[in-house]
C-alpha cells in the first residue's frame, strides 16, 4: 500500500484504538492497527505507512521501541507519540528516535493531525514556564502507580508506602477518570 494516506496506530487499549481508527477513516485515511511491537513488525512487512500514532506505554513494552522501528522502516514517516504519562525525558528520547511530535493524553484526532502538520518545529514557540503544583505531581504519580497495579487500591497503597484509607481519601478528593 502507498504511504499517501496510510496510517498505523500502535495502541494496546483496544477501545481507544478503535475510536481513533474510525475517526481517522472518516477523514480519509486508511488505518492499520497494532497492539504491540511484534504486531507492528507484522504490519510493516506488507505496508509502508506515511503516518503513525504510537502509545508510549504498551502494557509491559515501551512504545519507544516502536518509534525506532517505524523510523528505521521509513525515515520520512510522520510519527506522533501519545502518552498519559508525559515527561521531558521520554519526549526527548521519542524525538531522538524519530518521532515528529509528542502529545499528552487526552488528545483527539484534531490534535494528532495538527501534530502531523507541525512536524518541522516552531522556532517562535513561547518559552513561558508552565509550573506544576506539588498536588498535581502527587496525583499523577498516584495515578501511574494505580494503573500499574491494575487499579488495586491495597497494592497501590503498599507500593506508595501509605495506608490504604489515606489513599482512598486522596482518590475520593479527585476522581479517577
pLDDT digits (tens, 9 = 90+) for 7-65: 999 999 898 999 999 999 999 999 999 999 999 999 999 999 999 999 999 888 899 99
Strand, helix or coil at 82? strand
Query: Residue 164 corresponds to which cell in the numbers above?
Result: 490504604
Beta strands 6-10 and 61-62: pairing type? unpaired
DSSP β-bridge partners for residue 78 = 51
Going from the N-terminus, what domains does the chain have, and what CATH number goes with each? 6-117 (3.40.50.2300), 134-173 (1.10.10.60)
Q: Write the pLDDT tens digit of every residue in 105-142.
A: 888 899 999 988 887 766 676 666 666 778 778 888 88
Tell if the pTM clears 0.85, that is, is over it: no
| CA of residue 103 relative to chain centroid, distance | 7
Amino acid at each position: 500500500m502507498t504511504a499517501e494516506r496510510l496510517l498505523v496506530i500502535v495502541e494496546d487499549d483496544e477501545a481507544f484504538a478503535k475510536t481513533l481508527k474510525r475517526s481517522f477513516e472518516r477523514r480519509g485515511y486508511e488505518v492499520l492497527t497494532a497492539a504491540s511491537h511484534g504486531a507492528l513488525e507484522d504490519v510493516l512487512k506488507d505496508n509502508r505507512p506515511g503516518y503513525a500514532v504510537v502509545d508510549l506505554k504498551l502494557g509491559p513494552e515501551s512504545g519507544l521501541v516502536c518509534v525506532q522501528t517505524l523510523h528505521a522502516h521509513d525515515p520520512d514517516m510522520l510519527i506522533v507519540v501519545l502518552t498519559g504519562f508525559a515527561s521531558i525525558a521520554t519526549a526527548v528520547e521519542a524525538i531522538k528516535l524519530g518521532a515528529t511530535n509528542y502529545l499528552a493524553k487526552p488528545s483527539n484526532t484534531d490534535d494528532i493531525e495538527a501534530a502531523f502538520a507541525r512536524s518541522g518545529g516552531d522556532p517562535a514557540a513561547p518559552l513561558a514556564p508552565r509550573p506544576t503544583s506539588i498536588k498535581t505531581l502527587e496525583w499523577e504519580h498516584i495515578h501511574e502507580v494505580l494503573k500499574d497495579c491494575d487499579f488495586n487500591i491495597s497494592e497501590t497503597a503498599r507500593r506508595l508506602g501509605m495506608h490504604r484509607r489515606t489513599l482512598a481519601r486522596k482518590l475520593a478528593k479527585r476522581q479517577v477518570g
